[in-house]
Structure 1
Amino acid sequence: MSVLYLLMLLLSLGGMAVLDWRFRLFFWRSPGRAALVLGIGVLFFLAWDLLGIDLGIFYRGETALMTGVQLTPELPLEEVFFLTFLCYLTMILVQVARRVLKPRV
């Protein structure tokens, strides 16, 4: 049992938060809206995971890098943090793309 993967996910989330704070991209631009969007995204992908697990499509891979904590059968604790990172990264990239592709006047 290890917490290495979880720590790397938390470190990555922290890095995303620093970028977000520095450039006011997502949470520091509109905290309420950002929390709603991120929450909906994470819940959508959790539902997707649970459906895939129920259908026998998704299963937990064995690795020594994970805590071994299961939220439900085949759904490790780290999955929630991974989905949060994935959704947060996507929203940061959307905001960066908007700024870069914004028409110049």
Structure 2
Amino acid sequence: MTFVTVAALLASIACVAAVDARYRLFAWRAPLPAALVLAAGVVFLLAWDAAGILLGIFFREPNAFSTGILLAPHLPLEEPVFLLFLCQLAMVGYTGCLRLLQSRTDRLGAEAQVETDTDTDGDAGVPVRHRTRAARGTGGSR
């Protein structure tokens, strides 16, 4: 009996939680809804596993890396821990992608706004990009 797989999964959960905490992406942003989403995901995937086990699709072979502790026939202790990790990673990844896309959209939107000149040379409010070089004072005289 070895706890290598469980230890690796718990370490991975801790690393994803650290990223989540640093950027306030999922559980650190809204703990109760995040807990409900994680619980729903794990329950759904455990039901999926149970259906696969009953149909003979999923089965467990003994190996040197798992604990050998079974929660049900062919359902090792590592499975719900892995499913928790899978759900957490998916949600942190999803919310992280949303944050990146929103940041990019905000940045591009700010850059796309037309700059206006507010000086008193008579063309105040005219977008800078529509003025001639001479009017902007960048072309000099030719």
TM-score, with length taken from structure 1 = 0.97
Q: Give the match for residue 98 of structure 1.
A: 98
Please give the secondary structure, in 1, of the residue aligned with 2:85. helix
Q: Which has the higher contact order (CA 8 A, sep 6+)?
A: 1
1:12 aligns with 2:12: yes
Report the Cα offset of residue 100 of structure 1: 1.0
Q: Give the match for residue 32 of structure 2.
A: 32
1:53-105, CA deviations, whole angstroms, 9 ceiling, x for partnerless residues? 00000001321111000000000000000000000000001011101111213
Question: Runs in 1 of length 4+ with deviation above 4 angstroms?
Answer: none
Please give the secondary structure, in 2, of the residue aligned with 1:91. helix
Q: Distance in 2 between matches of 1:32 and 1:6?
A: 25
Please give the secondary structure, in 2, of the residue aligned with 1:64. coil
Q: Give the match for residue 54 of structure 1.
A: 54
**Structure 1, unaligned runs of 5 or more:** none
* Higher gyration radius (CA): 2
1:55-70 superposed matches below 5 A: 55-70=55-70
1:18-42, CA deviations, whole angstroms, 9 ceiling, x for partnerless residues? 1111110111100010000010000
Q: Distance in 2 between matches of 1:38 and 1:15?
A: 17
Q: Give the match for residue 42 of structure 1.
A: 42
Letter in 2 for 1:100: L
When you count helix as a share of all residues, which structure comes out higher? 1
Q: Give the match for residue 83 of structure 1.
A: 83
Q: Distance in 2 between matches of 1:34 and 1:17?
A: 12
Please give the secondary structure, in 1, of the residue aligned with 2:28. coil
